[in-house]
């Protein structure tokens, strides 16, 4: 069984965020935003707005072939890339965010950008930017031990994904490789807001994951409002709630981001 690392480090900063949320009887609120969207300047403003209520922040590294992302995040990535948001520019934006917050910041990235820069160089640049961890949605953790070793040397947390289709054995392998938290995908498919009924498989998935690890379990894909956040935080007893597409849609529509975040935080409460 994977246990929580207690050494003071970037990893510990992530664990501390989940512990604080648990002590306050709620799931940790984890907003996602694509780096450089809708442009570099407004990204920082949007991210800072979300960070005011977040426990930790997930920043998406724009990628040209985001197989796990739905239309909303794909469009955000395309626009960010069109504005010149490269891997290095993404890390520069994280560095700018780090000047305004001590909360954990994790990068969601497909593995190709990491290989393009070079895994060792990527880890070094991430640390220099103030990144606390990486989420690698398309990397089977048992197929690239070097990435895990380099992340450990750099003190970066690693998070891999499990899904409703994951077998118990697969969940065991994936959770054993995680050092930050475990990312449970709520549905079989891509990112995007869905009706709360689509989250029906989450309780069983969270229960299965908790049978294999003591690390926090965060659920993403399909959470869009207080109701769906509650389905994850309370009904499924998840430790964290990840929300992305709903915030990107809100930016497009010019809606009140802070208000939407506050509603979702309310849904994260367990009492």
Which of the following is catalytic: 55, 69, 132, 239?
A: 69
Annotation says 92 is catalytic: no
Give the global pTM.
0.91
Q: Does residue 3 lie in a domain region?
A: no
Distance CA 151, CA 230 (A): 33
Contact 159, 133 (CB under 8 A): yes
Contact 4, 32 (CB under 8 A): no
What's the CATH code of the domain at 173? 3.20.20.70
Contact 34, 248 (CB under 8 A): yes
Which of the following is catalytic: 58, 195, 256, 271?
A: 58
Q: Does residue 149 lie in a domain region?
A: yes
Distance CA 55, CA 26 (A): 11
Number of domain units in the chain: 1
Q: Does residue 4 lie in a domain region?
A: no
Q: Does residue 185 lie in a domain region?
A: yes
Tens digit of pLDDT at every position of the chain (271 positions)? 444 433 348 999 999 999 999 999 999 999 999 999 999 999 999 999 999 999 999 999 998 876 756 788 889 999 999 999 999 999 999 999 999 999 999 999 999 999 999 999 999 999 999 999 999 999 999 989 999 999 999 999 999 999 999 999 999 999 999 999 999 998 754 444 434 445 788 999 999 999 999 999 999 988 989 999 999 999 999 999 999 999 999 999 999 999 999 999 999 999 8
What are the Cα distances from residue 246, in Å, to 31, 165, 209? 10, 25, 26
Q: Does residue 207 lie in a domain region?
A: yes
Q: Give the residue from 61, 57, 62 showing the smallest Cα distance to 47.
A: 57
pLDDT for residue 64: 84
Q: Does residue 116 lie in a domain region?
A: yes
Distance CA 6, CA 210 (A): 19
Q: Does residue 246 lie in a domain region?
A: yes
Distance CA 163, CA 186 (A): 7
Annotation says 58 is catalytic: yes
* Domain ranges, residue 161: 10-267
Q: Does residue 5 lie in a domain region?
A: no
H or E element, residue 135: strand 133-135
Helix (H, G, I), strand (E, B) or coil at 220: strand
**How many Cβ atoms sit within 10 Å of the Cβ of residue 155?**
18
pLDDT for residue 271: 85
Contact 262, 255 (CB under 8 A): no
């Amino acid at each position: 069984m994977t246990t929580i690392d207690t050494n003071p480090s970037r990893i510990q900063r992530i664990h501390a965020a989940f512990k604080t949320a648990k002590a306050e009887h709620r799931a940790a609120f984890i907003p996602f935003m694509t780096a450089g969207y809708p442009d570099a300047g407004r990204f920082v403003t949007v991210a800072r707005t979300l960070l005011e209520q977040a426990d930790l922040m997930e920043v998406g590294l724009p990628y040209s072939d985001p197989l796990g992302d739905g239309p909303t995040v794909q469009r955000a990535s395309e626009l960010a890339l069109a504005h010149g948001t490269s891997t290095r520019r993404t890390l520069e934006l994280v560095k700018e965010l780090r000047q305004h917050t001590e909360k954990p910041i994790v990068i969601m990235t497909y593995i190709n950008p990491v290989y393009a820069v070079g895994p060792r160089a990527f880890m070094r640049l991430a640390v220099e930017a103030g990144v606390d961890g990486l989420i690698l949605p398309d990397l089977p953790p048992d197929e690239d031990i070097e990435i895990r070793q380099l992340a450990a040397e750099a003190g970066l947390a690693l998070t891999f994904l499990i899904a409703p289709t994951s077998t118990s054995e697969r969940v065991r392998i994936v959770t054993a490789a995680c050092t930050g938290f475990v990312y449970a995908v709520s549905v079989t498919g891509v990112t995007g807001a869905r009706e709360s009924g689509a989250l029906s498989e989450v309780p069983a998935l969270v229960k299965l994951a908790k049978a294999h690890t003591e690390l926090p379990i965060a659920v993403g894909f399909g959470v869009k409002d207080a109701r769906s956040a509650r389905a994850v935080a309370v009904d499924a007893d998840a430790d964290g709630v990840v929300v992305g597409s709903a915030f990107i849609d809100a930016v497009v529509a010019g809606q009140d981001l802070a208000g939407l975040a506050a509603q979702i935080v309310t849904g994260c409460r367990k009492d």
